[in-house]
């Protein structure tokens, strides 16, 4: 928790302690509890389960594994893991534009047409991300002036693994990453996957971690791709040093108002 108590509605600092453990804001008169307006309040599981879940998340457990170990339904486990990823991603204000409401991500691929056939968007509006290694850490940013469609037509080496495309940028050590509809995934050269995976694993422990987790999670949808990229960034930057504490800090942060 934060050292000071803030009102989750108006963010004023002056609040009164009530006898039942709640607080009341002196400015807007809003009554709230410790976790009101914070990510940790978005799932109906106990604080003890959150602590257990944080450890399982750190170990890379899937929703099915969390469900078995904590006695939760699969939907509860899936939602709780998504809340953790949302709390991590929304620390970067630039990623808020990818959200559609408080807990949902925007869908960039078009739905099926009237005849039931999918309309292949070719990434016309889907976002592109840049991965940059800085010192011993990594940084994932949105490339605002590029779309997936534009990158697809660039003369870059494009490699594919599961739902992720990676393009090493020429004359730099950065990488462009994106995910899009099943049409693009089906068009990917499947025979390049093993070569691509092995080559990148030899370059950085980031890729080794990334592929291991993607294998464990099995399926990452295009609309959730940003959530996982920011998760990988946090894991790599806090590997071996207080990762659980950093995750709990994200969970106890306020839900950004811009996502409402």
- State pLDDT tens for residues 91-119: 999 999 999 877 888 887 665 555 555 55
The pLDDT averaged over each successive group of 10 residues in the chain (260 residues) is 62 65 72 70 84 92 92 93 95 92 79 55 78 91 88 81 84 87 60 62 82 84 91 91 88 74
Nearest residue to 212 (alpha-carbon basis) of 61, 86, 83? 61
Q: Are 95 and 142 in contact (CB under 8 A)?
A: yes
Distance of CA 2 to the CA centre of its chain: 23
How far is 28 from 18, CA to CA, in rounded Å? 15
- State pLDDT tens for residues 7-37: 766 767 666 666 666 677 777 876 665 566 7
For the chain, the straight-line distance linking the first and the last C-alpha, in angstroms and rounded, comes to 22
Query: Across the beta sheet with 164-168, what order do the strands follow?
Result: 137-147, 127-134, 175-178, 164-168, 159-161
Torsion of CA 128, 140, 192, 63, to 10 degrees: -100
| Token pair for 78 | 């899936």
Q: What is the pTM of this model?
A: 0.81
Give me the numbers of helices (H) and strands (E) for the chain, helices first please. 9, 8
| Token pair for 225 | 């791709």
């Amino acid at each position: 928790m934060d050292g000071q108590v803030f009102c989750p509605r108006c963010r004023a600092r002056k609040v009164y302690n009530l006898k039942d453990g709640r607080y009341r804001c002196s400015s807007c008169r809003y009554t709230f509890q410790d976790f009101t307006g914070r990510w940790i309040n978005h799932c109906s599981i106990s604080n003890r389960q959150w602590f257990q879940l944080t450890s399982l998340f750190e170990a890379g457990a899937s929703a099915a594994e969390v469900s078995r170990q904590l006695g939760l339904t699969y939907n509860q486990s899936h939602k709780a893991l998504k809340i953790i990823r949302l709390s991590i991603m929304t620390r970067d204000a630039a990623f808020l534009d990818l959200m559609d409401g408080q807990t949902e991500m925007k869908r960039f691929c078009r739905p099926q047409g009237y005849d039931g056939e999918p309309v292949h968007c070719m990434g016309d509006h889907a976002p592109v991300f840049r991965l940059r290694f800085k010192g011993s850490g990594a940084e994932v940013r949105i490339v605002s002036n590029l779309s997936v469609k534009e990158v697809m037509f660039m003369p870059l080496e494009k490699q594919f693994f599961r739902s992720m495309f990676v393009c090493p940028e020429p004359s730099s050590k950065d990488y462009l990453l994106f995910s899009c509809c099943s049409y693009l995934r089906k068009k990917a050269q499947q025979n390049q996957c093993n070569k691509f995976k092995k080559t990148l694993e030899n370059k950085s422990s980031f890729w080794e971690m990334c592929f291991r987790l993607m294998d464990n999670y099995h399926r990452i949808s295009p609309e959730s791709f940003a959530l996982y990229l920011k998760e990988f960034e946090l894991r790599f930057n806090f590997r071996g040093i207080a990762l659980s504490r950093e995750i709990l800090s994200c969970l106890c942060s306020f839900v950004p108002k811009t996502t409402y």
